[in-house]
A and B are shown apart, each in its own frame.
Chain A
Amino acid sequence: MPEARKSARGSAKAFESQVSERGFDWVGKRLPNREAEMKAAGEIQYVDDLRMNGMLHAKLLLSPHAHARIKKIDTSKAEALPGVRALAHVFNTPRIAYNSAARFYLDASDFDMPKTEYIFDDTVRFVGDRVAAVAADDPFIAAAAVKLIEVEYELLPAAITLESALQGSSPQANPHGIDGTNLCGGRLAYGNANEEEVLTAIGSAARVFTDTFHTPRVHHGYIEPVCHIASYTRDGKLIVWTSSQNVFCFRDVLSTALNIPQSRIRVIKTVCGGAFGGKLEVMHEPVAAVLSMRTFKPVKLRLDRRETFSSTRCRHEGILTIKSGVSSDGTLIAQHVSSSLNTGAYAGSGPNTVGAQSGKMFILYRAEKMFYSGASYYTNTPSAGAMRGYGCPQITATRETHTDRIARELGMDPVEFRLRNVVRPHEKNCMGNDMHSALVAECILKGSREFAWKKRRLAAEKTREGKSRLGVGMDIAVHGNGWYPVYQDLTTVTIRLNNDGSATMLTGTHDLGNGSRTVLAQIAAEILTIPPKDIEVVEADTDVTPLDLGAQASRTTFIGGNATILAAKDLRDQLIEEASRALAAPADRLELESGWVIDREDPGRRCSFVDIIGAAQAGKRGDQRELASTKTFESKDAVDSYAAVFCEVEVNSETGAIKPLSIMSVHNSGKVINPLLFEGQVHGGIHMGLGYALSEEMRIDPETGKVTNPNLKAYRMLKAVDMPDIRVLTVEDPESAGPFGAKSIGECATDGVAGAVVNAVSHALGGAILDRIPLTAEYILSKLRR
């Protein structure tokens, strides 16, 4: 890091300590999401609520086949329909390869970012793949027109299931598969020793355990369907409004796929009606753009719910095998994980999700030797992509159910086994990395106490014979704070002081409804002493805000918050410098207080922000200048957030039905900036994790490749009546690298839920080995009958 930046960071951290010692005015406050009133009133506008003059409506024609070559497309009947304005398909659209999950413009690695997608291709690779699109005067005409498009297909052999795609004899789902197989990108394999050594260490331990676990393909289930508006004007400018998590990458991909310079593309993030990773990757924006380029009119493309299931993204289905060698006293000696993820028809984020999953291997448990080996595989099914947890829920459910089995077979309490083996703060993990404030053991201890773990566990064990059987289980989870040390991770924030002493902040941060704008305003308010309501936060617009790398990797509060501190502190220093001249007082005696700069030793000597800003612009004591600051934060700390999840369930031994009764999630996320929003994140994460464990699965017909439950009735997300009692606790030790001590919560909120539920159900079934989720009633009955 350059010296200047290093010292700026050092002084920012020292300053943060001063602020926190003074006592917080805004950090730690339960402020409602700043968009909440507009949302409650029904007045805020999501992308589907935007209306533009002359706007056309688009509809996609989606493939009915899992794998087929398009021989011919006849659009004459569709074109003849009054009100149809444009048609696009592979034979009239530029065919330039891209990867919809691209992270950096220079991403070109065939290993982890293969470019396998086109706006339209001459081959369709899953039921729901794009074949053609129509833009028309209204959505009814567009829907009628796509039905009039005649397509001649040549059917190709398909690889539908992950199990079949793994076989060497399988048809290739995508020609980019390595060496004629379905391997996507490459296999990632690494550890702190070579694979043979790790397997040998496992084999020579006193006890050896092996388990294989299957995790399902699930959907994000955001309530706002995918929707985009693209408007291309005659001056060559393309503007895209979309409910996106990553506008700068969208600009990269649009620029690549359409061959338009980035200066002529503007991507604007609209108010987001839920994303959870599902709006991180470019979806159908290029199609809306192509249709607008042909008509010079704004084109809206909104998917219906069926299309939202078949033709967006989903979580990678996984099959993971884990082996552990354990000493007789319950010490984990060595561990090996082998993972296969289903990336669907296109590469997207497949290899990168494997990479993110691998990282979780080494930061939860201590062991002398650990090795991870994983890969993603193409299948002729809907593309997988980013989803809250990003590879972590799969490995956590696998490892944590395996961990419970080890404890059970050793006759140890699962809490005791974990306490013996988890990483400790500030120690080096097996890879030699500093574990920072990894307070996972404290989460376990606090949770087991507050949940009355032993008492409830014993009580549950007295219900093994009846119809209604109780089970109590727990697990632990970990998630990062941004990309460091795997990739660069930076963001830039600009804060300007307005003439009346209020402030406007420009940030590439994306608020997905979780309240990121509220949190960043609280952080800036703490330093500038301007109330959050007087700080505007302008988010994610490629022509307006500075660069950001998107709402992913649980990076928003950690990275965006740190950048906010740098810019706000710089502005504070500017205010004090100006005031020091005006008041003829030394700068180190001056402090900000509610819109004034005051002399600490003589509080009557003061200068208002308004006067300082005005004087600076007038050049009264130097150059004429605007008080504004733009600062880039670069992450140089690999920091992790931890959780311990405790759960009680009731299993009906006659029907196999599971009712979650209570769940407690204990989080080590450093200092919590906004507890109201923090709790909201955990509540939602628990909902998503419970669905993952109990009811959710995108079911794919193994013959046809069709999603058989593409609606919100059959795709069973939990309803209000299905939810257990929920408690959220924190172990709130500030993390020095975090903004005012904060660490992430978004993904850690969901990572550990499913494993805790499975362990509780296994407990209710007297220690049955459960090797897949969701735990459907049929599956539970099959275990009960044994």
Chain B
Amino acid sequence: MDEQDRVVNFTVNGAPTSLRVRRAWTLLYVIRDVLGLTGTKYGCGAGDCGACKVLVDGKPRNSCVLPAYNVEACEITTIEGLQKSGELSILQRSFVEAGAIQCGFCSPGMIITGTALLATNPEPTEGEIREAFSNNLCRCTGYVKTVEAIQMAAARMAPLTGDSRHPHAKGSQGSGDA
């Protein structure tokens, strides 16, 4: 083992993972090039655009500037980890239906940020949504339909309470009394 290598243990989308990583490797490199999860994108390599965002212990982080060394014991969720049994999450579906996806290159990062936002703030104001995207750049949509997608998802999740308030519950079909 190279002196600079280190074994790091973490979970990715629930799967326990143990990897020997090099000092130069970012979490993005590990996710894309070692684990082959290419849904997370390289956009700038400097933490400016948000295309590489993943959830690290529930918080959206730019994986392109996060050294792989530093994720020991972390729970990492990538865009691939948001679907369940093949079903897209309510937010993913809202992005599709609202027309928030054009070229789609920023979308995984946008959806990761939105997922984290709705987990902590289920009824965000428009201002809070825009603020949440302060580290996500999009060149196609002017953010109009991105904001609508978050609002659509929040509305679909609103009738759900307690355990049924899950990102994969069936949206507005859920009952507030469930």
Q: Tell me whether chain A's interface is mostly helix, strand or loop, or mixed.
A: loop
Please name all residues of chain A whose beta carbon is closer than 8 Å to the beta carbon of B99 when the two chains form the complex: 30, 32-33, 36, 676-677, 679-680
Contact check, A305 vs B104: say whether CB atoms are below 8 A apart.
Answer: no
Cα A119 to Cα B136 with chains together (Å):
35
Please name all residues of chain A whose beta carbon is closer than 8 Å to the beta carbon of B16 when the two chains form the complex: none
Contact check, A711 vs B48: say whether CB atoms are below 8 A apart.
Answer: yes
Nearest-CB distance from B85 to chain A (Å)?
A: 13
Contact check, A46 vs B139: say whether CB atoms are below 8 A apart.
Answer: no
Nearest-CB distance from B94 to chain A (Å)?
A: 9
Task: Out of A51, A515, A720, name the residue touching B147 (CB < 8 Å).
Answer: A720
Please name all residues of chain A whose beta carbon is closer than 8 Å to the beta carbon of B48 when the two chains form the complex: 305, 711-713
Contact check, A717 vs B104: say whether CB atoms are below 8 A apart.
Answer: no
- Given A712-B48, A720-B129, are A40 and B40 also a contact pair (CB < 8 Å)? no
Interface segment out of the listed B68-76, B105-113, B163-171: B105-113
Number of interface residues of B (CB under 8 A): 55
Task: Out of B24, B83, B92, name the residue touching A140 (CB < 8 Å).
Answer: B24
Cα A46 to Cα B40 with chains together (Å):
11
Instruction: State whether the Cβ of A304 lies closer than 8 Å to any Cβ in chain B.
Output: yes
Instruction: State whether the Cβ of B39 lies closer than 8 Å to any Cβ in chain A.
Output: yes
Nearest-CB distance from B68 to chain A (Å)?
A: 13
Contact check, A513 vs B143: say whether CB atoms are below 8 A apart.
Answer: no
Which residue in chain B gives the minimum CB-CB distance to A224? B105
Task: Out of B79, B101, B136, B139, name the residue touching A684 (CB < 8 Å).
Answer: B139
Task: Out of A33, A43, A49, A220, name the residue touching B102 (CB < 8 Å).
Answer: A33
Nearest-CB distance from B6 to chain A (Å)?
A: 16
Interface segment out of the listed A122-130, A271-279, A430-438: A271-279
Please name all residues of chain B whose beta carbon is closer than 8 Å to the beta carbon of A677 when the two chains form the complex: 99
Residues of chain B in range 88-106 having any CB-CB distance to chain A below 8 Å: 88, 92-93, 95-97, 99, 101-106
Which residue in chain A gives the minimum CB-CB distance to B24? A140
- Given A273-B103, A273-B105, A305-B45, are A513 and B137 also a contact pair (CB < 8 Å)? no
Nearest-CB distance from A295 to chain B (Å)?
A: 20
- Given A41-B83, A42-B79, are A223 and B142 also a contact pair (CB < 8 Å)? no
Residues of chain B in range 40-93 having any CB-CB distance to chain A below 8 Å: 40-46, 48-49, 51, 78-80, 82-83, 88, 92-93
Please name all residues of chain A whose beta carbon is closer than 8 Å to the beta carbon of B134 when the two chains form the complex: 719-721
Cα A515 to Cα B103 with chains together (Å):
9
Cα A283 to Cα B86 with chains together (Å):
38
Cα A708 to Cα B156 with chains together (Å):
46
Contact check, A46 vs B46: say whether CB atoms are below 8 A apart.
Answer: no
- Given A39-B107, A223-B137, A688-B139, are A48 and B42 also a contact pair (CB < 8 Å)? yes
Most B C-beta atoms less than 10 A away, residue of A41, A677, A683, A719: A41
Task: Out of B40, B88, B102, name the residue touching A514 (CB < 8 Å).
Answer: B102
- Given A140-B24, A274-B105, are A40 and B96 also a contact pair (CB < 8 Å)? yes
Cα A673 to Cα B108 with chains together (Å):
28
Cα A223 to Cα B130 with chains together (Å):
19
Instruction: State whether the Cβ of B141 lies closer than 8 Å to any Cβ in chain A.
Output: yes
Contact check, B102 vs A223: say whether CB atoms are below 8 A apart.
Answer: no
Which residue in chain B gives the minimum CB-CB distance to A674? B99
Contact check, A49 vs B38: say whether CB atoms are below 8 A apart.
Answer: yes
Cα A39 to Cα B111 with chains together (Å):
11
Please name all residues of chain A whose beta carbon is closer than 8 Å to the beta carbon of B43 when the two chains form the complex: 223-225, 305, 712
Instruction: State whether the Cβ of A206 lies closer than 8 Å to any Cβ in chain B.
Output: no
Instruction: State whether the Cβ of A686 lies closer than 8 Å to any Cβ in chain B.
Output: yes
Nearest-CB distance from A49 to chain B (Å)?
A: 4
Most A C-beta atoms less than 10 A away, residue of B107, B111, B129: B107
Please name all residues of chain B whose beta carbon is closer than 8 Å to the beta carbon of A512 when the two chains form the complex: 103
Interface string of A45-59 (1 = CB under 8 A from B): 110110100000000
Q: B-side interface residues toward A, CB under 8 Å? A: 24, 32, 36-46, 48-49, 51, 78-80, 82-83, 88, 92-93, 95-97, 99, 101-108, 111, 127, 129-131, 133-134, 136-147
- Listed A/B pairs (14) with beta-carbon separation below 8 Å: A35-B101, A41-B80, A42-B82, A140-B24, A221-B137, A223-B41, A223-B139, A273-B105, A305-B46, A513-B105, A514-B103, A680-B102, A683-B142, A721-B134
